């Protein structure tokens, strides 16, 4: 499994629904502010990365997370 696939799986597990890199936060009712923080914290913990706090408000999709982490 690639890192990209692992991150997408982590997000899917937290939201309890299938997502892909084109999934947008506004399209998923379950992706509220609490889930947003859970996603960020889980990715940081699992993949030993830090997402800068100033980038948190810029994340509106799975692709945004991958771009911030420079994963293509």
Q: What is the pTM of this model?
A: 0.92
Residues 16-47 have pLDDT tens digits of 999 999 999 999 999 999 999 999 999 999 99
pLDDT at residue 71 tops 90: no
- State the Cα–Cα distance between residues 7 and 51, nearest whole angstrom: 13
Summary mean pLDDT of the chain? 95
- Closest listed residue to residue 18, CA positions, set 5, 1, 33: 5
Q: How many CA atoms lie within 13 A of 25 on its CB side?
A: 18
> Which residues span the domain enclosing 48?
3-68
Mean pLDDT of 6-18: 97
Q: Which helix or strand (DSSP H or E) is residue 54 part of?
A: helix 53-56
**With bands split at pLDDT 50, 70 and 90, how would you rate the model's confidence at 72?**
low
The span from the CA of 8 to the CA of 18, in Å, is 9
CA distance 31 to 72: 22
- Counted domains in the chain: 1
- Three-state SS for 37? helix
């Amino acid at each position: 499994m690639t890192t990209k696939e692992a991150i997408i799986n982590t997000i899917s597990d937290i939201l309890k629904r299938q997502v892909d890199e084109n999934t947008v936060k506004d399209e998923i009712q379950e992706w509220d502010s609490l889930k947003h923080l859970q996603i960020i914290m889980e990715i940081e913990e699992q993949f030993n990365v830090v997402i800068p706090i100033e980038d948190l408000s810029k994340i509106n999709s799975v692709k945004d997370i991958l771009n911030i982490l420079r994963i293509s």
